[in-house]
């Protein structure tokens, strides 16, 4: 099975759009037959990145968040970007439990979840310009393996 697909959406940095972003990505990857666990991993990672753009990127103003999704083969790649405040010190920001907004009851676990739940995470950010998060994950690989073994068995027989 070889799927190629691309999708882009833009939405305003309103918290109501957090669930919109999760739902859209989940629908986009359904042709890959994700497991329930893969689906919840991806929903969580997307939710973290979008929430960060809303809370930290744009803080009290409304800006535009762009989400681009690609499927190549069985890999999903999601790029979430804002034109907000940007991050001064990326490695500190990515440390577990680091938050610049403890007064908002943030726990500093967002980047950690993105790292744990996805195969790959890349952060590009420029203070005063914005932030771009790219995450990749292979989806439905369990099923792919089963099909592959079936095919091998078939060939052998």
Partner 1 sequence: MEETKYEIVRRVLIIRLQKDLDHHCAVNIREKADKIIDRYYIKHIIFDFSKAKFMDSAGIGVIMGRYKKIKYSGGKVVVSGLNKSIDRIFNISGLYKVIDKYDTADICLQKIESA
Ligand X SMILES: Nc1ncnc2c1ncn2[C@@H]1O[C@H](COP(=O)(O)OP(=O)(O)OP(=O)(O)O)[C@@H](O)[C@H]1O
What residues are labeled active site? 48, 52, 106
Residues 28-57 that bind ligand X (CB under 6 A): 48, 52-53, 56-57
Question: What number of residues does the chain have?
Answer: 157
Q: How far is CA 2 from CA 32, 74, 75, 144, 155, in A?
A: 10, 7, 10, 11, 20
Exposure of 9 by Cβ count < 10 A (0-12 exposed, 13-18 middle, 19+ buried)? middle
Q: Which residues ranging from 116 to 135 are in contact with partner 1 (CB under 8 A)?
A: 116
Tell me if 79 contacts partner 1 by CB under 8 A: no
Residue whose CB is nearest to ligand X in the complex, by number: 110
- # residues near ligand X by CB under 6 A: 22
Looking only at residues 80 through 119 of this chain, which bind ligand X when binding is defined by CB under 6 A?
A: 82, 84-87, 93, 98-101, 106-111
**Interacting residue with partner 1 among 13, 47, 81, 85 (CB under 8 A):** 47
Residue 24 · residue 39 · CB < 8 Å: no
Residue 143 burial by Cβ neighbours in a 10 Å radius (0-12, 13-18, 19+): middle
Residue with tokens 């744009």: 58
Tell the smallest beta-carbon distance from residue 99 to Mg ion (Å). 7
**Smallest separation, CB 87 to ligand X (Å):** 4
Cα(99)–Cα(103) distance, integer angstroms: 10
Interface residues with partner 1 (CB under 8 A) are: 15-16, 18-19, 22, 36-37, 40-41, 43-44, 47-48, 51, 54-55, 104-110, 112-113, 116
């Amino acid at each position: 099975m070889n799927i190629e697909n691309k999708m882009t959406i833009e939405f305003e940095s309103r918290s109501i759009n957090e669930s919109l972003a999760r739902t859209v990505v989940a629908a986009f990857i359904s042709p890959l037959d994700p497991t329930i666990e893969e689906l919840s991993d991806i929903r969580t990672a997307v939710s973290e990145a979008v929430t960060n753009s809303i809370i930290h990127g744009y803080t009290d103003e409304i800006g535009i968040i762009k989400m681009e999704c690609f499927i190549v083969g069985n890999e999903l790649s999601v790029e979430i970007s804002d034109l907000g405040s940007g991050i001064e010190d990326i490695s500190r920001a990515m440390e577990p439990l680091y938050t610049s907004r403890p007064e908002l009851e943030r726990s500093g676990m967002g980047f950690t979840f993105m790292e744990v739940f996805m195969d790959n995470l890349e952060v590009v950010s420029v203070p005063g310009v914005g932030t771009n998060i790219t995450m990749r994950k292979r989806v439905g690989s369990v099923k792919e393996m089963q099909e592959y073994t079936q095919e091998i068995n078939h060939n052998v027989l």
